[in-house]
Structure 1
Amino acid sequence: MYEPRTYRHWINYKDLVSFNIVVKETDLYICASSNLKRKAYRLVLKYRDKLEGYIEQHPAF
């Protein structure tokens, strides 16, 4: 169930690059000194794949 992330508007990010990464249940709001969107997206895919593989092998998780 989606919950509005109103707290994301509290951040003073005028000197930062901000972006969202959303993949399935993963929903990240990232602020950084440079645009890391592509790198962050690749890392989310990598670690979601590892986690999903673990869950598949360990259903009790």
Structure 2
Amino acid sequence: VNGMDDLPRLSPSGFLKPAVWLVAITIAIVASLESLLSVEATDKLDPWKRTTPANRELKAQGLG
């Protein structure tokens, strides 16, 4: 066991495969929906009835 020698090599051409893009887009959509549902639930729990800007949340998620 030589550590780094056992890891598979990544090929940049893999990013051109449609299956990779489908998985990436699916993960992005699911993560966005989860984030928006969390914002909605948190807003309902807030005793002061403040609202979270959903656009700001999605922008922050995209940056993170």
Q: Give the TM-score, by structure 2 length.
A: 0.39
Bigger radius of gyration among the two: 2
- Report which of the two has the higher share of helix: 2
Q: Give the TM-score, by structure 1 length.
A: 0.41
- Report which of the two has the higher share of strand: 1
